[in-house]
């Protein structure tokens, strides 16, 4: 086996890190183009596209989205560079370890660093019984050696020193940089794939409940808002509407010197009242009629929706004991009796009246909005 020196290994790892940083946006841009190609092929109804229309349309959409993809990539790189250690610590539950917390571990790391002429990295500990150790960080300020409680308690000084020396070697050879960059890549691809899959396919009540619990959204007002922000159905409606706008208006604005942002604010948005009104009505009705979220994911009565409250009213008045008791009280006070049917009708009016009041203001836009994509020329 050929011997490789430390400087050669460091140089190779630096080249690998730079290559991964360059390939990451390239791969992301390629996946973006493939996504638009598949989406355009699906919307056009071509099972096996034989002309170049799908390619041209996908390329046009890709050029519009490419600056956003590059921007997201840059933001992700900045977050990963400045907060990689904090993200890793948050995901693993690692806590800082000082000399006073564990002199044995601190002295082992310090002695190895003095012997090898390295700067002292940070030391973290994970309160877990498993045997685990890893190094992280992209620069001297962030270099960290993390050990689990299990590996500290179960190994003697010589064995633990060998493990720490192995992790320090990763830092010295810049192996840790390749590791962190790989984690960044896997993280963003996993994040994007989860958004896409969870938007298109539902995993069921139990996985959804676990996801909300892990995101700390249970029994909070955000459980009604965040899961419904990203909706593929709404995006497709917006896209179909924008494609139906006359291209001549956009070209005229460009001739007058308007840029893309100006065209969006001065031309596109004023013409988009039908689609905004339609989706606003769809979204409003969906949230107004939302009983499921409050029933399964919210336990506080203060956060329950109107539908949850009205259901409780119906259930209470559907009970024969409650009804009989209510009637006896009404008779005793010579009050007007309220029948269960009256309660149901009152609930029905409570549910329908707000939508009936809003609909007349959106009616002139609604018909055009719901026909988006339904009429083929």
Place of tokens 């099972």: 47
Task: Convert the chain into a string of H (helix), E (strand) and C (coil).
Answer: CCCCCHHHHHHHHHHHHHHHHHHHHHHHHHHHHHHHHHHHHHHHCCCCCCCCHHHHHHHHHHHHHHHHHHHHHHHHHHHHHHHHHHHHHHHHCCEECCCCCCHHHHHHHHHHHHHHCCCCCEEEEECCCCCCEEEECCCCCCCEEEEEHHHHHHCCHHHHHHHHHHHHHHHHCCHHHHHHHHHHHHHHHHHHHHHHHHHHCCCCHHHHHHHHHHCCCCCCHHHHCHHHCCCHHHHHHHHHHHHHCCHHHHHHHHHCCCCHHHHHHHHHHHHHHHHHHHHHHHHHHHHHCCCHHHHHHCCCHHHCCHHHHHHHHHHHHHCHHHHHHHHHHHHHCCCCCCCHHHHHHHHHHHHHHHHHHHHHHHHHHHHHHHCCCCCCC
At residue 185, the pLDDT reads 72
How large is the average pLDDT for residues 229-255?
80
Can you tell me the distance from the alpha carbon of 21 to that of 1, in angstroms, rounded to the nearest whole number?
30
In terms of Cα–Cα distance, which of 296, 274, 284 is closest to 369?
274
In this structure, are residues 173 and 10 in contact, taking their beta carbons and an 8 Å threshold? Answer: yes
Indicate the pLDDT class of residue 375, thresholds 50, 70 and 90. Answer: very low
The domain locations on the chain are: 6-91+180-195, 95-176, 202-370
Indicate the pLDDT class of residue 374, thresholds 50, 70 and 90. Answer: very low
Which neighbouring-strand residues pair with 95?
A: 125
In this structure, are residues 52 and 35 in contact, taking their beta carbons and an 8 Å threshold? Answer: no
At residue 292, the pLDDT reads 80
How large is the average pLDDT for residues 319-334?
52
User: How far separated are the first and last CA of the chain, in Å rounded?
Assistant: 70
At residue 201, the pLDDT reads 64
pLDDT digits (tens, 9 = 90+) for 24-34: 788 888 888 88
In terms of Cα–Cα distance, which of 169, 178, 154, 184 is closest to 75?
184
Is the CATH number of domain 202-370 1.10.3720.10?
yes
- Helix pair angle (175-200, 157-172), 10° resolution: 80
How large is the average pLDDT for residues 44-62?
66
Q: Is 316 a catalytic residue?
A: no
Q: Which residue has the higher pLDDT, 299 or 42?
A: 299
> pTM of the full predicted structure?
0.47
Q: Select which of 57, 98, 161, 167 is catalytic.
A: 167
How large is the average pLDDT for residues 99-118?
88
Considering the domain 95-176, what is its CATH architecture?
Answer: 2-Layer Sandwich (3.30)
Count of CB atoms within 10 A of residue 328's CB?
10
How large is the average pLDDT for residues 338-343?
66
Mean pLDDT of the chain: 76
In this structure, are residues 61 and 34 in contact, taking their beta carbons and an 8 Å threshold? Answer: no
């Amino acid at each position: 086996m050929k011997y490789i020196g430390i400087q050669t290994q460091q140089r190779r790892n630096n080249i690998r890190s730079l290559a991964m940083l360059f390939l990451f946006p390239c791969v992301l841009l390629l996946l973006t183009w493939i996504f638009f190609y598949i989406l355009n092929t699906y919307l056009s109804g071509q099972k096996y596209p034989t002309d170049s229309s799908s390619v041209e349309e996908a390329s046009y959409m890709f050029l519009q989205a490419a600056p956003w993809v590059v921007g997201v990539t840059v933001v992700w790189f900045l977050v990963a560079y400045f907060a990689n250690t904090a993200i890793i610590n948050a995901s693993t539950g690692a806590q800082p370890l000082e000399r006073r917390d564990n002199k044995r571990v601190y002295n082992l790391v310090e002695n190895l660093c003095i012997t090898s002429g390295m700067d002292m990295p940070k030391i973290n500990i994970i309160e877990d019984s498993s045997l685990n150790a890893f190094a992280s960080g992209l620069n001297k300020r962030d270099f960290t050696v993390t050990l689990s409680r299990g590996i500290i308690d179960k190994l003697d000084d010589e064995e633990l020193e060998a493990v720490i020396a192995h992790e320090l070697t990763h830092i010295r050879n810049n192996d840790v940089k390749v590791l962190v960059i790989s984690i960044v890549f896997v993280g963003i691809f996993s994040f994007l794939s989860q958004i896409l899959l969870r938007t298109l396919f539902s995993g069921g009540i139990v996985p959804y409940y676990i996801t909300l619990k892990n995101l700390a959204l249970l029994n909070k007002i955000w459980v009604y808002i965040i899961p419904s922000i990203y909706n593929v159905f709404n995006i497709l409606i917006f896209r179909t509407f924008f494609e139906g706008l006359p291209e001549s208006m956009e070209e005229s604005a460009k001739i007058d010197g308007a840029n893309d942002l100006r065209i969006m604010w001065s031309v596109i948005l004023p013409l988009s009242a039908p689609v905004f009104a339609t989706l606003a009505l769809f979204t409003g009705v969906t949230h107004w009629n939302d009983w499921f979220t409050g029933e399964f994911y919210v336990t506080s009565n203060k956060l329950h929706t109107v539908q949850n409250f009205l259901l409780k009213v119906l259930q209470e008045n559907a009970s024969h004991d409650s009804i009989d008791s209510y009637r006896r009280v009404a008779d005793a006070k010579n009050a007007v009796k309220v029948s269960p049917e009256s309660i149901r009708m009152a609930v029905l009016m409570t549910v329908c009246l707000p939508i009936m009041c809003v609909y007349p203001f959106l009616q002139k836009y609604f018909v055009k909005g719901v026909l988006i994509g339904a009429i083929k020329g």
